């Protein structure tokens, strides 16, 4: 991935950190979780993602005037440039979809849980 400072293909995800989820630009305090790529299997990482999606959808399903979910983000600030660039990771959000979580898996989780909680999903990933 490309570093936002030096614009070189030197940005790498750290082996452990925090992932935050956002639905239509909104998130809850409970929409973040830790990951450890060295100690957790792909199934464990996906179980954490699904748990947080279920948590948000169960909360969101209680709203009377729900808008369809049009955007979904799973991002982290736990990236490092191999050129030791000083990256402002508080303001920088780098998506982990396609890095930690396959796009197909994310689509499947959103579709399954949207159906289960009667929430319309209109997220489009290319």
Q: Would 124 be classed as within a structural domain?
A: no
Q: Would 26 be classed as within a structural domain?
A: yes
Domain that holds residue 45: 11-116
pTM value surpassing 0.85? yes
- The C-alpha atoms of residue 1 and residue 5 are separated, in whole angstroms, by 12
- The C-alpha atoms of residue 53 and residue 23 are separated, in whole angstroms, by 9
Q: Would 85 be classed as within a structural domain?
A: yes
pLDDT digits (tens, 9 = 90+) for 47-99: 999 999 999 999 999 998 899 999 999 999 899 999 999 888 778 889 999 99
Q: Would 5 be classed as within a structural domain?
A: no
Cβ(35)–Cβ(75) below 8 Å: no
Cβ(90)–Cβ(77) below 8 Å: yes
The SS3 assignment for 49 reads: helix
Q: Would 111 be classed as within a structural domain?
A: yes
End-to-end Cα spacing for the chain: 17
């Amino acid at each position: 991935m490309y570093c936002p400072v030096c614009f070189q293909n030197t940005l790498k995800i750290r082996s452990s950190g925090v992932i935050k989820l956002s639905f239509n630009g909104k998130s809850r305090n409970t929409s973040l979780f830790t990951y450890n790529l060295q100690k957790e299997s792909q199934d464990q990482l996906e179980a954490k993602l699904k748990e947080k999606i279920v948590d948000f959808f169960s909360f969101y399903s209680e709203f009377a005037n729900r808008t369809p979910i049009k955007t979904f983000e799973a991002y982290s600030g736990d990236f490092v440039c191999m050129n030791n660039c000083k990256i402002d990771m508080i303001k920088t959000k780098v998506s982990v979809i396609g890095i930690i979580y396959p796009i197909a898996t994310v689509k499947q989780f959103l579709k399954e849980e949207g159906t289960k909680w009667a929430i319309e999903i209109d997220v489009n990933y290319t």
